[in-house]
Amino acid sequence: MTTAVLCMAYGSPRSLEEVEGYLTDIRGGRQPSKEGLEELKQRYARIGGGSPLTEITESQASALQERLDQISPGQFRTYVGMKHWHPFIGETVAKIAADGVKRLIGLVLAPHYSKMSIGGYESRVQDAMEAAGAEFEFRMIPRWYDEPKFVDFYASLIREPLGHWDKERTRVFFTAHSLPERILSYGDRYQDELMESSSMIAGAANVSDWEFAFQSASHTGEPWLGPDILERLDAFKEEGGERALVAPIGFTADHLEILFDVDVECAEKCREIGLDFRRTASPNDHPPFIDGLASVVLGAG
């Protein structure tokens, strides 16, 4: 029996013309303020006018299909669904149902679990199944940061740029998307998983000077998890630091949170305070990363 693998990501606009619709969807259909819309458009303009996330996710799914076919021919069929833009998760679940597939694995292309993030994707799949009248045998993969192939691959991404630097006064800053602090009140282990993940990757990369910081917090009027990466870069410089390698382990593809929040904001902060700056390459569709994803899917299937 064929199993559908629904590869999911947040979604992003491909052009400035799509930014308003995208932001409106994030806001649950509420129109954004003129100021908020203009600020987001300016960020996308700084990275070329749109995000490559959809194209990269499609490439990841295609590469995953190829790898799964090599291991278990004909057993899996990969699909792509986005949380906040086309192709929406609901659209893709309806297609899976129309294709006659009865078994479904949900794979969010983010390694760490939070009820607010991964749990939100799972709810959307379940809602889409109900809307489509589909009765899948459904399994959601909640987390996969501890997949050995992922740990080893990300360690290799860290070793490559560090090999060009003196390790004295050099620090690796692991980062992931911040979430509202209220997730801690119901025992969410997101922050704990990120620390465990950082420690595992640092150990595999033989890195001793490292720390974890959050990035990309939104201005919603409530506290978000910290510390923030920009604050920690300032503190590192004050401690006598000279070189900072940012490793965004919470993300697996180039998109706004990488291309702007890291490549623009972190890079500008480092230039301002006099730190040498680099970041790790994103996993995107690199074969060792895809091989790790295949192992995750096989473990769930």
Q: For residue 55, what pLDDT is reported?
A: 98
pLDDT at 213 over 80: yes
How many distinct structural domains can be found in the chain?
2
Question: Is 140 in the same domain as 264?
Answer: no
Q: For residue 56, what pLDDT is reported?
A: 98
pLDDT, tens only, 102-119: 999 999 999 999 999 999
Q: How confident is the model at residue 167 (pLDDT cuts 50, 70, 90)?
A: confident
Question: Is 125 in the same domain as 13?
Answer: yes
- Sign, CA dihedral 110-299-204-282, equals negative
Q: For residue 164, what pLDDT is reported?
A: 85
pLDDT, tens only, 116-145: 999 999 999 999 999 999 888 999 999 999
- CA dist 43 and 40 (Å) reads 5
Q: Name which residue leads in pLDDT, 221 or 203.
A: 203
- CA dist 142 and 119 (Å) reads 8
Q: For residue 156, what pLDDT is reported?
A: 98
With H, G, I as helix, E, B as strand and everything else as coil, classify residue 239: coil
Question: Is 171 in the same domain as 140?
Answer: no
| Among candidate residues 150, 234, 264, 258, the one with its CA nearest the CA of residue 197 | 150
Q: Domain containing 269 — which CATH number? A: 3.40.50.1400
Query: Which spans in the chain are helix H?
Result: 19-26, 34-46, 53-71, 89-98, 118-132, 148-162, 190-204, 229-238, 256-259, 267-273, 287-300
- CA dist 275 and 160 (Å) reads 19
Question: Is 76 in the same domain as 170?
Answer: no
Q: For residue 221, what pLDDT is reported?
A: 87
Question: Is 154 in the same domain as 271?
Answer: yes
Question: Is 140 in the same domain as 152?
Answer: no
The token pair at 59 is 């490439």
Name the region of 178 (left: φ>0; alpha: ψ -120 to 50; beta: rest). beta
Question: Is 101 in the same domain as 135?
Answer: yes
Give residues with Cβ within 8 angstroms of 297, minimum separation 6: 5, 64, 68, 76, 105, 107, 141
Question: Is 102 in the same domain as 25?
Answer: yes
- CA dist 3 and 13 (Å) reads 29
Question: Is 31 in the same domain as 112?
Answer: yes
Q: For residue 237, what pLDDT is reported?
A: 98
Q: For residue 149, what pLDDT is reported?
A: 98
pLDDT, tens only, 43-75: 999 999 999 999 999 999 999 999 999 999 999
Question: Is 45 in the same domain as 114?
Answer: yes
pLDDT at 100 over 80: yes
pLDDT at 19 over 90: yes
Question: Is 180 in the same domain as 290?
Answer: no
Q: Calculate helix-pair angle for 19-26, 34-46, nearest 10 degrees.
A: 120
Question: Is 82 in the same domain as 172?
Answer: no
Domain hosting 19: range is: 3-144+286-300
Q: For residue 185, what pLDDT is reported?
A: 96
The pTM for the full model equals 0.96
